[in-house]
Structure 1
Amino acid sequence: MESFISSFLYHFNIVTFLVFLLFYSYQFIYMIVALKSKVSKKIVGEEDRFNKYAVIIAARNEELVIGELIKSIHKQTYPQEYVDIFVIADNCTDQTAKVAKKAGAFVRERFNKNKIGKGYALDFMFNIIKAEFASNQYKGYFIFDADNLLDENYIMEMNRTFNQGYRVVTSYRNSKNFDQNWITAGYAIWFLHEAEYLNLPRMKLNASCAISGTGFLVHADIIKKNGGWIHHLLTEDIEFSISNILKGEKIGYSPNAVFYDEQPITFRQSWNQRLRWAKGFYQVLSKYGKDLIRNIFIRNHNSFSCFDMTMTIMPAMILTIVSILINGLFYLAILMGIFEKESIGDTTILMLRSFGMYYLVMLCMALMTIITEWKRIHCAGWKKIVYSFTFPFFMLTYIPISIVALFKEVEWKQIPHTVVKSIDDVR
């Protein structure tokens, strides 16, 4: 019995690893392309063709931070006459609207307790712009969260990529509070990895990138064709990305357009946010999964991007959950005496090896990201190294979160932003 249990788990874990390898081996190519691209990341474009943009910021009780975002927009090297700032004070009970107006933004307040979420706030403002500012003829819309800060060349760099013909453009997501604790660092490392080891190689390989929550630019024609903002799942960013990829859009990435955002500080805040993300991914999979898989096998310029997005929303966490549950159930059965106790030692070693392999992969990913992005991460060097070693534990917490999300009803919950820094403070 001992050899049967050990052999079963050993071969099961090997098969699981091979399935992962089959699904995600293309991301090793991404890493190689990303590392080669580090030598010269400058994208040649038509920088001197200035387009008129509207910046849209959805804010709920963000009086502490929204002023600094607007200041960073006013400090842009891009001509100010080509940029208008719109703020939706969404169900606010503080002075967000007053602070935003004082900082120089056009502000509208929205109160709706039934339609809650960023997507509804964006749609509210798009309808206002359509009704009251149609004569401004905006070429595109920037979307930001109130806690963001922009590098002074941000809009100029995004404009360059936009002028290459991309109708949706995402950017380099850095962190205002990388060094606060292992949770904020965990978020920051992942977003840096996502920018430079997923979106950068996608761009280089002429595949579609994906937006990540905030810090992106969308062509006005897309919003006009959709009749506003139509994406209202819990993860409207990945829904927006996949919806546009299925329609044939190719999302671009501007690696030199840097913005900073604030990461959740406490584990409870992080749990609530990532629980919403996990539930949102399940919603997106349910809504778009069949279309994505079908388009993988239709020969067009976005077939690979459909495969890439399918891998983004589907197999990894589900396969991980199944693997953890099977290993855990067998181990629990052994501890309860259902199987011979002699199996405990061998099974423990097998589980520790599996965990060790997972930890090593995540650690290598973190170290590679930290080393290549070292100069762009603004904190003490020793913290960068230490938080590389805690990153695998941060990612491991996604497992219980993803399991709970399968069964729990999840609603949007505000994450308070309290890190008040100017763009000069961050840099």
Structure 2
Amino acid sequence: MTMETFIRYMNFAILVLFFLCYSYQVVYVFIRLLKKDVVRGERPFHRYAVIISARNESAVIGGLLQSINSQKYPKELLDVYVVADNCTDNTAEIAAENGATVFERFNRVQVGKGYALNYIFHKIDEDKGIRYYDAYMVFDADNVLDENYVYEMNKVFDDGYPVITSYRNSKNYDSNWISAGYALWFLRESRYLNGARMQCGSSCAISGTGFMVDSQIIEKNQGWKHHLLTEDIEFSVDNIIQGNVIGYCEKAVLYDEQPVRFKESWNQRLRWAKGFYQVVGKYGKGLVEGCVKHRSFQCFDMLMNIAPAMLLTIATLLINGGAMMMGLINGEESLFLLAGGEIINCVASIYLSLFFFGIVTTITEWKQIHCSSTKKILYLFTFPIFIFTYLPIAIAALFKKVTWTPIQHTIVRNVQEIRQ
């Protein structure tokens, strides 16, 4: 077999593998476009606790707490707890002024959101018992909530879902191409991944913030036991392997702040990429067994979301890049041109695929994207470029030691200001 033949076969095999792994996500788009949402009527009210882990978030935590205090939900059934985690500012004071029950935690060894959540759950258990509340809602300090957030989440919880995620929008879509890249990805994830999963009866996945957990799960786990760098994905995968179906509430809308500087974005996504590898290492076998032994589509879905896309892309670029170098060194012009063409085809096809998801999301969520029409259109074209920047991040995460570091939040906007 010649090198040129090998390159052709290899690229075709990767193309087929891509199709087998991800064509279902195109089907998801049409499911969401063609299938009507379930309409839920009034439901009995349940008792909830809001959990917020905050580290030096004095600039933004007041906005979140004000949006919680403004919820159209019985106030006697909604308590708020804040763990001021290794804070050196007045986060705890501001949280207390806004009516939250505050616990200060200082631990420089066990660092990260998962440890802070576990700490607050044990504090609640010592005080009232973990089952005093029917469920717990978890937010990041930079979030703000639509006034009907809890009311709408309550409807889905009453349907029997033990874990529920919500619609994730952005406070600063209009900042630049970086914040818009994040925001458009999360909008697409909300509507065309979790939304489609919900309509198909499959399991959704929580994404960092804005989710609810039944108190029975917290009791069973004896707190919060997930401490990898991406504790949200770890929690999702663990529940899916156990057979729990994660629900989604599209009418429960939260807004969060996205990074605008590339260095911050790089560090954050480096942690995410490393965390994905950690989840694969710890839970990959369980997901594969779920796919093979139990023919679980939701295990397959999660496996596709945490594993192969970036690695397949990197493999394609490395194989063809190596063939180009070989052709250049050996004077084989045909090999050089073939491999170069395959790289161009790979980049172009991925760009167009991402542009497809971006344009569908932008059109259907047009009114939910709060920036000028010009920026909405412009950021369609930069969205695939933003996703492409994951490639060097994914490579770096394979080799670099990564630790949890906080992201600074500074944007203070209430829901009305965001929508304006």
1:17 pairs, out of 15, 18, 25, with 15
2:322 paired residue number:
329
For each residue in 1:78-99, what CA deviation from the matched residue of structure 2 results, as whole angstroms up to 9, or x when unmatched?
Answer: 1111100000100011111111
Distance in 1 between the 2:217 and 2:346 partners? Answer: 45
2:256 paired residue number:
261
For each residue in 1:306-365, what CA deviation from the matched residue of structure 2 results, as whole angstroms up to 9, or x when unmatched?
Answer: 111111112212211111111122223334x23424644444333222211111111111
2:403 paired residue number:
411
For each residue in 1:362-417, what CA deviation from the matched residue of structure 2 results, as whole angstroms up to 9, or x when unmatched?
Answer: 11111011001101111101111110100111111111111111111100011100
* Contact 2:65-2:98 within 8 A present in 1 as well: yes
Superposed counterparts of 1:187-206, under 5 Å: 187-206=182-201
* Contact 1:41-1:255 within 8 A present in 2 as well: no
2:308 paired residue number:
315
Other structure's SS at 2:330 match: coil
Distance in 2 between the 1:11 and 1:43 partners? Answer: 49
Say if 2:16 is the partner of 1:43.
no
How many residues of Structure 1 are paired with residues of Structure 2 in the alignment?
419
Distance in 1 between the 2:389 and 2:9 partners? Answer: 25
* Contact 1:13-1:354 within 8 A present in 2 as well: no
Distance in 1 between the 2:95 and 2:331 partners? Answer: 65
Shift of 1:135: 8.7
2:53 paired residue number:
58
Distance in 1 between the 2:342 and 2:239 partners? Answer: 43
2:135 pairs, out of 137, 140, 143, with 140
Shift of 1:5: 5.0
TM-score, normalization by structure 1: 0.95
2:375 pairs, out of 383, 401, 408, with 383
1:106 pairs, out of 96, 101, 104, with 101
Distance in 1 between the 2:131 and 2:352 partners? Answer: 53
Say if 2:97 is the partner of 1:71.
no
Other structure's SS at 1:25 match: helix
1:395 paired residue number:
387
Other structure's SS at 1:104 match: coil
For each residue in 1:233-262, what CA deviation from the matched residue of structure 2 results, as whole angstroms up to 9, or x when unmatched?
Answer: 000001001111111110000011100000
Amino acid in structure 1 at the alignment position of 2:11: N
Other structure's SS at 2:313 match: helix
2:210 paired residue number:
215
Shift of 1:298: 2.9
Superposed counterparts of 1:109-188, under 5 Å: 109-134=104-129, 137-188=132-183
TM-score, normalization by structure 2: 0.96
* Contact 1:43-1:161 within 8 A present in 2 as well: no
1:356 paired residue number:
348
For each residue in 1:196-237, what CA deviation from the matched residue of structure 2 results, as whole angstroms up to 9, or x when unmatched?
Answer: 111111111111100001000000010011100000000000
1:87 paired residue number:
82
* Contact 1:42-1:256 within 8 A present in 2 as well: no
Amino acid in structure 2 at the alignment position of 1:364: F
Amino acid in structure 2 at the alignment position of 1:222: I
Distance in 2 between the 1:238 and 1:381 partners? Answer: 33
Shift of 1:14: 2.4
Q: Report % sequence identity.
A: 53
* Contact 1:68-1:423 within 8 A present in 2 as well: no
Say if 2:362 is the partner of 1:367.
no
* Contact 1:56-1:144 within 8 A present in 2 as well: yes
Question: Structure 2, unaligned stretches of length 5 or more?
Answer: none
Deviates more, 1:135-144 or 1:249-258: 135-144
Superposed counterparts of 1:217-366, under 5 Å: 217-299=212-294, 303-335=296-328, 337-341=329-333, 343-366=335-358
Distance in 2 between the 1:227 and 1:346 partners? Answer: 57
Amino acid in structure 1 at the alignment position of 2:14: T
